[in-house]
Amino acid sequence: MIVAGGFGTGKTTLVGAVSEISPLTTEEVLTQIGEGVDDTAGIESKTTTTVALDFGRRTIADDLVLYLFGTPGQDRFWFMWDELSRGATGAMILVDPRRLDTSFPAIDYFEARDLPFVVAVNLFHGRRRHTLAEVREALQLEDSSVPLIEFDARDAASCRSALVTLVEHAMARLPAVTVG
């Protein structure tokens, strides 16, 4: 499963909160070189960024283990998305409700590849800024079958629930298998 979204949407936090193993992260300190490149408007307190990927694992059932691959959010790292997405079953696109515009590239990416995805609004500090209907309209999610949920990337139970939604959505999109 891919965990994607814009810069600072909570991807590394989600992988760390829900992984049953110590997650692999490639967090590096933001530097002065990135000041004109990384848009930190609305997330001025952010001090690190993912430069390659995050990796975690979560067992959902005895016969279902999810491998989580978190993407870097900045556009200069998007070249990695194709490699991280190869063979993926689904994606969770994280949305920062303070900066909805950072979500469009991830939505466009997974729509173009016809990979099942859910859109997960990260409730920073537990506050809702918009209703889900307002978010769906703002993000132009015209396909009503795309799940739109709220969660808190810092809360393991909330992350597990979001992952279950993703798994159910991805499984519903799998072709029917006939035995016999």
Share above pLDDT 90 across residues of the chain, in percent, rounded to a whole number: 52
Burial of 99-117, coded b for 16+ CB within 10 Å and e otherwise, reads bbebbebbbebbeeeebbb
**In terms of Cα–Cα distance, which of 72, 71, 76 is closest to 115?**
71
Separation CA 120–CA 43 (nearest Å): 18
Separation CA 162–CA 179 (nearest Å): 31
| pLDDT reported for residue 30 | 59
Which range among 1-10, 70-79, 134-143 shows the weakest confidence by mean pLDDT? 70-79
| pLDDT reported for residue 102 | 87
List pLDDT tens digits, range 16-49. 999 999 988 767 665 666 666 566 566 666 655 6
Share above pLDDT 70 across residues of the chain, in percent, rounded to a whole number: 81
Pick among 3.40.50.1820, 2.30.30.90, 3.40.50.300, 3.40.50.720: CATH of 2-26+51-173:
3.40.50.300
Mean pLDDT of the chain, nearest integer: 85
CA angle 38–40–44, rounded 5-degree value: 140
Separation CA 161–CA 147 (nearest Å): 13
Domain ranges of the chain: 2-26+51-173
What confidence tier does 98 reach under pLDDT thresholds 50, 70, 90? confident
Confidence check: pLDDT of 141 > 80: yes
